[in-house]
Structure 1
Amino acid sequence: MMIFVISDQKHYKPHCYLAAIPVTKDLWDNSILKSEIPVLVIFYANWCGPCRMVHRIIDEIATEYAGKLKCFIVNTDTDMQIAEDYEIKAVPVVLMFKNGKKCDSVIGTMPKEFYVAAIEGVLKP
């Protein structure tokens, strides 16, 4: 989803806000495993308060890393098979993928800087 915000008519600077995109089992391979750029996936549940905090952070990151990183979300209550495939036992969990392989993970709620450091590590050649 993209939202364009016009802040000042005189000094028009478009801001593009992206959000993490929901992904299901049907789209998993094409969206995550076959991606040409690194992918971040947050596993969450609607009832989980800490998940909402992490989701907001990941939405910010999706905007800041647009074009360098794709961000997706998986609802573990509705897409249990994906959670089982990656042995997700609790939420929130963030997994990083590069070249179709899981390469890093962050378990629990962390400050934004923690996620950014993990992303920067994955983005290095």
Structure 2
Amino acid sequence: MALEITDSNFEEKVLNSDKPVLVDFWAEWCGPCRMVGPIIEEVSNEYKDKALVAKLDVDSNQEFAAKYGVRNIPTVLFFKGGELVDRKVGVAPKENYTETLDNLI
């Protein structure tokens, strides 16, 4: 299951991770986010030992959404070594996420 990230633990969990990190920026009311959610959960289960897969609710946690310029949701950001390395905006097939993670591992 994807880890719930908040503004208060973003730095610790995402930026200080020794594994590549995928963060799904989403909101409860967002229809496309509900389409991406099950895909993110599948990726989380498949990559649990190789990468950190997380979700951040932008309604409750706006600091890092603003910092990384998340203006549309769903937006999925990829981090490695504390640096933002890629982003996917909107609904995308699972392969788009797994291919990016594979390149970071």
TM-score range, shorter chain: over 0.9
Deviation at 1:26, TM superposition (A): 0.9
Q: How does 1:2-41 map onto structure 2 within 5 Å? A: 19-41=1-23
The answer for the alignment partner of 2:65 in structure 1 is: 83
The answer for the alignment partner of 2:98 in structure 1 is: 116
The answer for the alignment partner of 2:84 in structure 1 is: 102
Classify the secondary structure of the residue corresponding to 1:30: helix
The answer for the alignment partner of 1:12 in structure 2 is: none
Deviation at 1:119, TM superposition (A): 1.2
Divergent runs of 4+, >4 A:
none
- Which structure exhibits the higher relative contact order, with contacts defined as CA atoms closer than 8 Å and separated by 6 or more residues? 2
Which amino acid in the other structure matches residue 88 of structure 2?
V
Provide the C-alpha distance between the structure 2 equivalents of 1:38 and 1:72, rounded to a whole number of angstroms: 11
Aligned length: 105
Provide the C-alpha distance between the structure 1 equivalents of 2:8 and 2:37, rounded to a whole number of angstroms: 22
Q: TM-score, normalised by structure 1?
A: 0.81
Structure 1, unaligned runs of 5 or more? 1-18
Provide the C-alpha distance between the structure 2 equivalents of 1:20 and 1:49, rounded to a whole number of angstroms: 19
The answer to whether residue 36 in structure 2 is matched with residue 54 in structure 1 is yes
Structure 2, unaligned runs of 5 or more? none
Provide the C-alpha distance between the structure 1 equivalents of 2:77 and 2:53, rounded to a whole number of angstroms: 10
Classify the secondary structure of the residue corresponding to 2:8: helix
The answer to whether residue 16 in structure 2 is matched with residue 67 in structure 1 is no
Q: TM-score, normalised by structure 2?
A: 0.96
Percent identical residues:
37
Provide the C-alpha distance between the structure 2 equivalents of 1:115 and 1:32, rounded to a whole number of angstroms: 17
Which amino acid in the other structure matches residue 74 of structure 2?
P
